[in-house]
Amino acid sequence: VPPQDLNGVGRLGLIAGGGRLPTVIAESCRARGREPFVIRLPGAADPALAAFEGADVGLAELGTSLKALRRAGCRSVCLAGNVRRPDFSALKPDLAALKHLPRLIAAAGKGDDALLRAVLAMFEAEGFEVEGAGAAAPDLLLGPGPLGSLAPGPDAADDAAAAIAAARRLGLTDAGQAAVVRAGRLLAVEDAHGTDAMLARCDGGAGGRDGVLAKVPKPGQDRRVDLPTIGVATVEGAAAAGLAGIVGEAGQLLVVDKAAVRAAADRLGLFVVGVEA
């Protein structure tokens, strides 16, 4: 048995967009003895991913990607990291990509979620299993209870419950995954501009820490992609907005990375807490 097959699930092919998430997933896999093979999207993928076996392959060169993944012994893939919506008219698809392109373009017209589902279906049609980041790197998932040393008090617990409810309702609109509630009032919701932009438009509050950010998957969303994510920047943004803390659903929020987020939360005096989904 090769080392990457130790846990019986086969080697992981990691399709890496931008941001820290792919790197943290790759490190998590390596630490558990499942050496990943990384397809690094040029101009997006974290340079730190050069520490892993892999290939630099563009979005449109699907045939090249599939060949590299198969040659490396990958049986499943995980898509992680930020990818800009491509300008389909500017892509130079190879033959394999060309085959799937009409379906992808049609899906793209129905929104980001539809496009992602179509990309997953494409890898499945090519014979790969698709793993979510949470399955590939379960140690990244927020657990139940507080992550750091602080826990919400009664007022914050009320705001946390209201923020979770608002974020779930928001998810039905396909607009975003996050909401901020302060003193019972829905202060901000996430849109395509993201969580950091949402936090940046929340003022610092009345002085003390007040209000809660919730981030949850969209109801019915394919949890193999696009699981909501927080990182140190989220904690810092929440602190600058004067919030008391961050709440997510246990097992449904990726924390990149946990040690740094815990340290930032403790340093800035915020709680980060997981509740039952």
Q: Which of 9, 81, 94 is nearest to 44 (CA)?
A: 81
Nearer to its own copies, 108 or 233 (CB): 108
Could you say whether residue 198 binds its own copies (CB under 8 A)?
yes
Q: Which of 3, 33, 42, 111 binds its own copies (CB under 8 A)?
A: 111
Query: What tokens were used for 92?
Result: 């130079």
Q: Return the range that interacts with its own copies (CB under 8 A); candidates 23-31, 45-53, 60-68, 188-196.
A: 188-196
CA–CA separation, 215 vs 261, rounded Å? 15
Smallest separation (angstroms) from its own copies to the CB of 245: 19
Nearer to its own copies, 49 or 241 (CB): 241
Q: Which of 71, 84, 92, 110 binds its own copies (CB under 8 A)?
A: 110
Could you say whether residue 179 binds its own copies (CB under 8 A)?
yes
The residue count for binding its own copies (CB under 8 A) is 28
Within residues 148-177, the interface with its own copies by CB under 8 A covers 166, 169-170, 172-176
CA–CA separation, 260 vs 226, rounded Å? 21
Could you say whether residue 84 binds its own copies (CB under 8 A)?
no
Nearer to its own copies, 31 or 175 (CB): 175
Smallest separation (angstroms) from its own copies to the CB of 188: 5
CA–CA separation, 267 vs 48, rounded Å? 27
CA–CA separation, 95 vs 211, rounded Å? 51
Nearer to its own copies, 124 or 191 (CB): 191
Query: What tokens were used for 83?
Result: 């990818």
CA–CA separation, 271 vs 202, rounded Å? 18
> Are the C-beta atoms of residues 37 and 52 closer than 8 Å to each other?
yes
CA–CA separation, 87 vs 74, rounded Å? 29
Q: Which of 139, 134, 154 is nearest to 245 (CA)?
A: 154
Q: Which of 39, 224, 22, 7 is nearest to 117 (CA)?
A: 224
Smallest separation (angstroms) from its own copies to the CB of 174: 6
Question: What type of residue sits at position 140?
Answer: L
Nearer to its own copies, 169 or 267 (CB): 169
Interface residues toward its own copies, by CB under 8 A? 85, 108-112, 166, 169-170, 172-176, 179, 183-189, 191-193, 197-198, 201
